[in-house]
Structure 1
Amino acid sequence: MTKSELSNLLHKQKLAFQKSPPEYEKRIKSLKKLSDIIEENKDRLIEAVYKDFGLRAREETLFLEIFPLQDEIRHAVKNLRSWMKRRFVPSSWFLLPSSAYYQFQPLGSLGIMGAWNYQILLTLSPLVDAIAAGNHAILKPSEIAPTSAEVIKEIINTNFSADYIHCVTGASELAKDFSSLPFDHLFFTGSTRVGKMVMAAAAPNLTPVTLELGGKSPAIIHSSYSVKRAVKRIMAGKLFNAGQTCVAPDYVVMPESLNEEFRKEAQLAVEKLYPGIQSNEQYTQIINSGHFERLQALLKDAEEKGARVIELGDRDAADTSKRMNPKLVFNVSSDMELMQEEIFGPILPVLNLETVEEAVDYVNNNAKPLALYYFDEKKRRIDWLLKNTLSGGVTVNDTIYHLGQHNLPFGGVGASGMGHYHGYDGFKTFSKKRAVMHQRKFATTDFLHPPFTDLKKKLINIIGRFSKV
């Protein structure tokens, strides 16, 4: 699709929206239709994801994409009427007897750019919020996972009119054109590097953007916490999708005295999670050879700078361009590339710092992470860590599952993104929170217009005195 064709499509959507913005009934009907077509095409979607990766377990796609998406739709349908309600607020005393309220209104036509690692969820989950908020939308799935992109395109375009919801596919040039369109809001999921380009492309149109990016999400283990339990939960979260998850634990921070126990438990955890991992049909492959080579380069750089790499799983089986054994990396330092960029693969560096305070200092001296994981049972220390760190989200004593909380916002901060979605927060992101003041027939403000007589001056002075703290 050319840029001209994209512009025409957006123009048609905007005209259709202006003519008839979706009301409650249409939004509910569209959400239920989306749920139905996902269910009807579930097997096709799962197979498409499998082909894109070369191998990903059906259960992983069901658990991490289809189920959360369907449950998000259910949550929106259940709560939409209350989200849409007009909300009255107290009027400022000097403007009485006026009333004041706000209401959420749809923005118009939105652009949604998905991500390859969870193509179904990260393309269609923002669409759920966009529909709930009453918008029209154009989707652009990631070209890195082309099979699932084409299935999404087909099932969307055959079930919705193009002037309401439409999906386009194409390579990086189309993505560049897409992000430069004058959408009423642009939503992007992907890397920080590409996020900067998306934001720059949107800037000339003053298009507001939501950027769901990535970053280095730490898992901090207090010395008093069960290493066995921490490792089990860290490795489970790390190895979903072979580490190709934006909120996967990117590195571990713990005292050096825990290293050997951590290594042993990590090996046991991998053997239990994925027996015979190199031939295990439930262990996801690396998306493509370019990504595999990038991961190998990170390991090589770390080893050259003094790191110790520990193979987990089938330690006698060599990595291939699609299958990569999980690895622990000890003796890491900040000058290593794997401690500077998001890993996005089954490599887990271990940074040895002796206290939680040191761990917090390290996190705070680097780019703000998309997620932070802390393992501790002491409420006082947990509260202190929450107070003294800033990240997109937090899970205490587990990893990644804060994503599944529909009543919590999901989104990064700083280099890990801007803006939120999921549930009510997604509804708000794709809405205008519009302020309304309703003035009465009798209004005190009528007595405060020029000319400022002596009486009016006294009234203004009285208002001023009562307005002070």
Structure 2
Amino acid sequence: MTSAAPILNQEVSRIDQVFEKQRRASREKPYPSYQERIDALNKIDKILMENQDEICKAVNADYGNRSHQETKLLEVAQMVSSVAYHKKHLKAWMKPEKRHVGISFLGAKNRVIPQPKGVVGVVSPWNYPLGLAIGPAIAALAAGNRVIVKMAANSQNLCRLLDKLVSAEFSDDQFAVIPGVRASAFTDRPWDHFVFTGSPATGKVVMETASKYLTPVTLELGGKSPTIVAKDYDLRIAAERLLFGKFVNCGQTCTAPDYLFLPRGAADEFIKHAKDVLNERYGTADSPDFTSLIDDTAFQRITDTVEDATRKGAKSVQLVAKGQPNAESRKFPPTVVLDVKEDMLIMRDEIFGPLLPIKLYDSLDEVINYINAGERPLALYLFTNDKQTEDKVLFNTLSGGVSINDTLLHVAQHDMPFGGVGNSGMGHYHGKEGFLEFSKIRPVFKQAKKSGILMLAPPYGERFDKMMKLMLKFRL
């Protein structure tokens, strides 16, 4: 029997070897052609399309239970369509862009060229193990970079599968997924760009490590994303839409609605609709369509969060008719929590599970002030058909992204950037912004045959004074 230590040492050695291969390749061939990038995207498409069932089985094994349909919907289909989007737009994105030349530099030319940064490291979490590993890789490869991915310890079935599939299609000097490597061994090296998805606390550690090498970072960090149902909006429709975003993947989504603002007096009606919706969708917490919590620690944390809230005066309401919390299957029924207070765990920490605390409000100003008093969230959700209400919320708050009259779906838009702000992260990927995130936008100035600037060279005198006077007068 092989011990864990030699395996770990092998993976540490492999990350060193692969990193050096990619770093050398990125310096020897710093600008892969359009066709080479398209070939890389086609290889990812092939991996995804030809191995859907294997991918779903691996994710299910890592979770204990996550339906194949949910993995295909949330991850496989999204990544396939992301590849197609990047292929469609890549040629236009790669094209150098002409820029304006001031009259003082008459005859010269300006352009900016997006060029690959080099070697990109990606640390992905367990909650969307395929999408948050492959998604940044797609953007980075499209931008012409080399990529190495480290996946979470809770995703090792999928990680080993992706290692095998990626290694069969790519050389190590272009793209690799490496199982078993420790975060410290992976992070602490001179990456040309680094992507991390996880908690704000760990994000700060990653950023501190990256600062030793002045490595630029993209951080997607989550937080407590508020959801607001305005007084004009139909509660049944709101329940149908926001509960899908909340309870898909058992609430283990960085952009999931974390807490809900309802107009005062609307809670009972909303809960009635919520029970109807979720009993139709799941019926029981034991439904195979309802995902398990990822591990025993997560199950215990959710259990403790509910107990803390009820002990301090909150009321929990289970939304499905059947099923109780089950430590063995790590299934915890969808639950709303009423009468919450700020000293409760449920209102202090990101929930990352099947609990939805409800807060009641009298005026929209109350809601805005509450949101602005906390850290800036990764997402904000608003249900309203009133444009004035929409504008008031949009222009008096700040979040990573927004969906109006639904949840999560702004993240699924390939033509819009995805990223946080403040405590919820920095930088973007998805869309053209993702291509630019992984590119050095290199400015190139080409002087004309004759250089006008030399007319301003020393020795300074009357000619210089006259020309400078004209330049300042006409703001040239």
TM bracket (short chain): over 0.9
- Structure 1 counterpart of 2:373: 365
- Structure 2 counterpart of 1:453: 461
Contact kept in structure 1, 2:323 and 2:333, CA below 8 Å: no
Q: Distance in 2 between matches of 1:126 and 1:69?
A: 10
1:203 aligns with 2:211: yes
Deviation at 1:113, TM superposition (A): 0.9
1:53 aligns with 2:63: yes
Q: Which amino acid aligns with 1:193?
A: A
- Structure 2 counterpart of 1:397: 405
- Structure 2 counterpart of 1:90: 100
Q: Distance in 1 between matches of 2:267 and 2:207?
A: 41
Deviation at 1:94, TM superposition (A): 2.1
1:335 aligns with 2:343: yes
Deviation at 1:315, TM superposition (A): 5.2
- Structure 1 counterpart of 2:261: 253
Which whole-Å deviations, capped at 9, do the CAs of 1:192-222 have from their partners, x for residues lacking one?
A: 1211111112111111110011111111011
1:384 aligns with 2:403: no
Contact kept in structure 2, 1:46 and 1:61, CA below 8 Å: yes
Q: Could you tell me the TM-score, scaled by structure 1's length?
A: 0.97
- Structure 2 counterpart of 1:17: 26
1:427 aligns with 2:427: no
Q: Map 1:139-288; keep pairs closer than 5 Å.
A: 139-170=149-180, 174-275=182-283, 277-288=284-295
User: Per the alignment, in what secondary structure is the counterpart of residue 394 of structure 1?
Assistant: strand
Q: Distance in 1 between matches of 2:118 and 2:183?
A: 20
- Structure 2 counterpart of 1:80: 90
% same residue: 37
Q: Distance in 2 between matches of 1:466 and 1:176?
A: 56
Q: Which amino acid aligns with 2:22?
A: Q
Single out whichever of 156-165 and 60-69 deviates more from structure 2: 156-165
1:300 aligns with 2:307: yes
Q: Distance in 2 between matches of 1:463 and 1:278?
A: 74
Q: Which amino acid aligns with 1:209?
A: V
Which runs of 5 or more residues in structure 2 are unaligned?
1-7
Q: Which amino acid aligns with 1:250?
A: D
Q: Which amino acid aligns with 2:144?
A: G
Q: Distance in 1 between matches of 2:340 and 2:324?
A: 24
Contact kept in structure 2, 1:248 and 1:399, CA below 8 Å: yes
Q: Which amino acid aligns with 2:266?
A: L
Deviation at 1:49, TM superposition (A): 0.5
Which runs of 5 or more residues in structure 1 are unaligned?
none
- Structure 2 counterpart of 1:130: 140
Q: Distance in 2 between matches of 1:393 and 1:135?
A: 27
Which whole-Å deviations, capped at 9, do the CAs of 1:107-132 have from their partners, x for residues lacking one?
A: 00110111101101110011100110
Contact kept in structure 2, 1:314 and 1:325, CA below 8 Å: no
Single out whichever of 10-19 and 134-143 deviates more from structure 2: 10-19
* 1:440 paired residue among 448, 462, 469: 448
Deviation at 1:85, TM superposition (A): 0.6
User: Per the alignment, in what secondary structure is the counterpart of residue 130 of structure 2?
Assistant: helix
Residue 316 to residue 13, structure 1, CA distance change in 2 (3 Å): closer
1:99 aligns with 2:106: no
- Structure 2 counterpart of 1:66: 76
User: Per the alignment, in what secondary structure is the counterpart of residue 265 of structure 2?
Assistant: helix
Deviation at 1:4, TM superposition (A): 5.3
Q: Could you tell me the TM-score, scaled by structure 2's length?
A: 0.95
Deviation at 1:97, TM superposition (A): 2.4
Q: Distance in 2 between matches of 1:140 and 1:407?
A: 26
Deviation at 1:407, TM superposition (A): 0.7
Which whole-Å deviations, capped at 9, do the CAs of 1:73-94 have from their partners, x for residues lacking one?
A: 0001111000101111211232
Residue 323 to residue 101, structure 1, CA distance change in 2 (3 Å): same
Residue 43 to residue 5, structure 1, CA distance change in 2 (3 Å): closer
Q: Distance in 2 between matches of 1:16 and 1:40?
A: 29
Q: Which amino acid aligns with 1:96?
A: L
User: Per the alignment, in what secondary structure is the counterpart of residue 229 of structure 1?
Assistant: helix
Which whole-Å deviations, capped at 9, do the CAs of 1:279-300 have from their partners, x for residues lacking one?
A: 3111111111101111111112
